[in-house]
Structure 1
Amino acid sequence: MSGKVFLAESAGFCYGVKRAVELAQKTAEETGGCWMLGDLIHNSHVVEDLARRGIRKTEDPGSLGKGDTVVIRSHGEVKNVLDDLEARGVRCVNATCPNVCRIQKLVAQAEQDGRQPIIIGEPHHPEVVGVASWCRHALVFDGPEAVKMWLEKDTSHRQIPVTVVAQTTCIRKLFESSWEILKKECTNVKIFDTICNATHKRQTEAAAIAGKVDVMVVVGDRKSANTKHLTEICQKRCSRVLQIESADELSAEVFKDCGAAGLTAGASTPAGIIKEVYASMSEEIKAAEGMDESFEELLNQSFKTLNTGEKVTGIVTAITPTEVQVDVGAKQAAYIKLSELTDDPTAKAEDIVHVGDEIETYIVRVNDVEGYAELSKKRLDAVKVWENIEQAVEDKTVLEGTVTEENKGGIVVSVKGVRVFVPASQSGQPRGADLSSMIKQKVQLRITEVNRARRRVVGSIRSVTEEARKAAQEAVWSTIEVGKHYTGTVKSMTSYGVFVDIGGVDGMVHISELSWSRIKTPSEVCKVGDTLDVYVISFDAEKHKISLGVKDRTLNPWDVFMNKYSVGDVASVRIVKLMTFGAFAEVVPGVDGLIHISQIADRRIDKPEDVLSEGQIVDAKITAVDEEKKKISLSIRALLTPTAEAEAAEDAE
């Protein structure tokens, strides 16, 4: 088996990538030159070749105009970008992989059916970003741990019907472990296995080859997600895995003592590059076999000297249940005990590091006699965290952490494993608030005090929130204008109106501006915490006062009344005010009519309240309308007493 190179049958272009490249080339020939929005595929060599064929690249959709032709990349594009391009007359040739198009349709249909779309994949990958844009709100998780955090954050999530899809190049194990959690914890789950068949075949084949060779080479662009996943899969089966973009990166040293080598390539890698790498590997393996012993002597001379207490960087070569073996370029065999890898007693080594990872550690002990060096990642991490914390004080850096507990006088926030005490006055919560409600919440804070010797760190959430609020206020005051609409939140209420937060600034909505109907208190139409669509009536930037309105000024109540009623019509009205001479009744919101005391009953009454009460709904006849003065006369009596004509008719009978 010496010198043999095993080439994966499925290496190279998949159907979707091949289709995209051919479609782009054909479009360029037909148009004499066209555009691609970003990289058509994740391979710089292919993109450069396309450029030579007249397919220019742009990252800015706005730079394209009517008459331009653009080829949409195989990963797909954000929906509103596509819509905008078409609206501006740009011809779009859609080279999106059919498998990706299917996922786009699945998430759109899920939302239409009232389901929560969930995508398992890399949140920032162009394919995932594009797919997520085909619905209003998709959730993206990069694996089972993120799914667990989402479910633990709010148990109500478990009742939501969900539809689960995967990025086409997602590692199958990640997808399956993610949907198994969702299926177990949620009551209504639909799962669509959208991992590309070619991807699954390529990953399975790569794993099989990696398990029987000494060196595994993965070819593909470093921006390619599926190439990265291939590398990760191979690293679990082979101790020496090399990810390259071209044959230039190979050398004979890579294949030293190599009995057999394996070769696979990502979905965006052209056949020409694969062929070149295959030929180069064969030559380099032969060269490695011909190396003389002087190479070993030179290698021994290059070994570094290890000293206790120093930092050292190495490559993870093997992982066992109790330790991680590391090549640090020294004669000694170096290893990290699991207890020196992490503080988490439940963590597994393979969840923290992988074979082939570069790792920076602290040298705990060197035993030259027995030929080993004991390392610690945990101690170095702790030193780095404290250095970062101390630097954060000087730089006033905003850090993120999770609230872990409430104690006397405040809360504790975990920032990269360091306990940060936040006094209640700096928690950003009102005085006397229940701080236990903040536990498990992610918060942003600044470090205000560090005492490394006493391991004491103090922080402030309030300084960050106040700064954000101040910035929001400045943004409001710099753009505010009469008539501008805001979506605000009711912060407090008085007898004469409500105060609404429109983004860090409070505005006043007078009770008369809350509704066209007559109301006695604001609580009749809203409550604290409600969201209101408000607009600016007036403002005083110097005094920082804003007058807001809620009533729709385009809807004139008098016009509504005139379109709906005429003299002689009967209306169901609400009694809004009782006077000595009669009662006012609301005919439509914002328009009242007068029922004179003589028109309230079919008999003489001393005062209106003998018959009516405020809030009562009664039927009344519209007897007169003064359009100029916008006054309405109503009568209940007209519906109770027969008219003179009716009485005369009855007498005649």
Structure 2
Amino acid sequence: MKIEVAKSAGFCFGVNRAVTLVEDLLRQGKKVCTLGPIIHNPQTLAHLEKLGARIVEEPEQVPPGSTLVVRSHGVSRSVEEQIARLPIECADATCPFVEKIHRIVAEQGQAGRIVLIAGNPEHPEVQGILGHCTGTAFVFPTAKELEKGIERWQFSQNSAVSVVAQTTFSVAEWRNCLEILKKVYTNAKIFDTICNATASRQSEAESLACTCDAMIVLGGRQSSNTAKLYEVCSRHTQTIFAQSAAEIPRELFAGVHHLGITAGASTPASIIKEVLVTMAEINEGVHSPETAESGDNFAEMLEESLKSLNTDEKVHGIVVGITPTEVLVDVGRKQSGFVPLSELTADPGAKTDDLVKIGDEMDLLIMRTNDQEGTIMLSKRRLDAAKGWDEVVAAEENQEILTGTVVEVVKGGVIAVTKGVRIFIPASQATASRSDPLDALLKKEVDFRIIEVNRGRRRAVGSIRSVLKDQQKKLAEKFWETAEEGKEYDGVVKSLTSYGAFVDLGGIDGMIHISELSWTRIKHPSEVVSVGDKVHVYIKGLDHEKGKISLGYKRPEDSPWEVLKRDYPVGTVVEATVVGMTTFGAFARIIPGIDGLIHISQIADHRIEKPQDELQIGQTVKAVITDIDFDRHRVSLSIRQLLENSEESNTADESAE
């Protein structure tokens, strides 16, 4: 008898994530309660219960000091709020694909659309989805029930309808439902929310059932996706639904030459392995030696099937030694385990003693066994990457923000590592501005979104800029809520142009016009500020419509006219520098920013034809301030008055003698 195991049989990403979370919490010594059974599999539940996990039906049943785990099915918004009000820790294992449906139904309801949900109304996942609906919502389990519902609901064909499906809904039944919906509702929005793994699992099971004499579907009786597999396979061949090897009736396999096995998302690999061993025993009983020698070596096929499950390749180890190039690990076997640095992390610049310490425990993948040397080469990086890849794929679906560390700057971008997976981030997506240096990101922790996934090559592309834009948008919204003219800010000069300086006020930019940088005339902003300078500015003007912010930098109290008013009253003798000539006089600089006019009649104590007869550009002269017009910004100076005062003083001195 040939036995063929579906490649996609067993734990899905969401269920595996939830079970692993519970195991990790228990391993940390925490008291764990799950809100309902964490998985639809009695053997796994018994295993977790033996480790100390307890099932509760209501959050209030969680004893103090315990951690409540929300299973992959998710819960309603009201239950989430109920948990938040309780003084307990909560670990949310809701499947990312289910969370996506929660967001969709909430948004569609808020938009005033009617939400239709394809799924089992009694299933906890569907109940959780209903609990996130913000408007009118209906559930239908089959295409036939959908037709009945359409007559009963009685809303018009032009109604705004949005449709989602339970993640484990039958793909074939979904197609039937869509045909009905598209005919009835002209404005229907269809969201294909059936999990990719579910669709693949059902498709593969159907293909296998079409070629086999019999099928075994393994899984818990409460499991929705396992029930769908049974339904799909039953259409094509004799099918048995079993929770374990003990439930398989041996007498039914007489005359079966090709047996297929598949399993639901809640079925652990250990049960599939147990069934394979049982089928080996059955095979020996129902086939003759001649059949066994005819080419189908069942022992080899069994071994190959077991290998495909990867159950024997994963081990749990304890760090017992550390060298610069590898980590020595005790995995409970005679052979010595070691993890090369390259298999410990995806970061090429990392050091072993920075990553682990003696006594650390970790899950590892067996890469190679050398019986002659008595060693096992292990990998943590590949196991992390295998686990992390599913999360990266889910993050692309959900547009979830991931956090990673930039480990390399490469041609055209950077490499960041998250959950053991290397993510390429192009230069155009690595920084807020193309001019920002990539080297500044090296060894830094960054937030990014996955914008592209190549499942075949297991490669993903990320974007830091996408996250930065969202952050800047939020900061901008917060800024505009409180911004008003005259309000002061501390900022950093971001860039310079010929007409001004752009200042980062913390997520939003404002501009200081060149005329606002200095009270004196300047040719370029770089004469006053440089990129990176911290500056104290105030808002001069706001354009809400265009989103523009004008900033002031020079202070009114620093105005040269304020200085003149304070320090240079009329009658003050100053040393001024001649800066310009006209036919009616000369201009002399009193202080930077203020030039006074020495009228031609006030240049000398005798008549002159033109200013150049007595003065020249650049010459420093003593003069007295004779008048100031602050409104018109004009100052009058006189050299003649000083000369005449000097002559009078000399005459008085001579008379006294």
Which has the higher Rg, Structure 1 or Structure 2? 2
**TM-score of the two chains, using structure 1 as the length reference:** 0.43
**TM-score of the two chains, using structure 2 as the length reference:** 0.43
